[in-house]
Amino acid sequence: MVINGRLFLAILLCSLLAGCAQVYVPVSESKSPPSNLPSTFPPPETQAPPASPPVATESESAKRIEPTTSNTPVKGNSAVASLLDEAWRLSRAREYDRSNAVAERAMRIDHAEPEVYLVMATNYVAMTQLQLAEQLVRQGLPLAGQKPGVKAELQSLLTRIRSGY
């Protein structure tokens, strides 16, 4: 009876701990090994100024997605809002990998923020990785219930992905 009681407690404890574990969804497929990437970026004062982005043609600018909600603060977490602003800035500068890295940091802080999924999906569309983009849009849509602007942009992006962009 004592062994059965201990076994029961061990199973109960394991199941409770498993229920508390965080689940992360991988969202980037790195083609180079992560050991080649710097662990941190140099401080802003030592960074070289970014090169000016190439001028987009009229057809390219029509396909670009510009956020309408990036100026809307994320309620409850200023760190996430700051990271999202940085991710959108990098996305506009066409630094999609860096933008996704910043968005992934925001996702680790608040995985239920739908704008994180929007910025990452937008970057993957720009990099023509439509399957990853669609996966992120599908993850972000259920989270966007209280944010109609983000939800509308996710739905629009999903329509564009399904139509082959």
Section 61-73 average pLDDT: 48
Structure tokens at 87: 């991710």
Residue 147 is predicted with a pLDDT of 92
> What's at 124, amino acid-wise?
Y
Structure tokens at 135: 């996966």
Section 135-164 average pLDDT: 93
Question: Residue 52: is its pLDDT beyond 90?
Answer: no
Section 100-120 average pLDDT: 96
Query: What's the mean per-residue pLDDT of the chain?
Result: 75
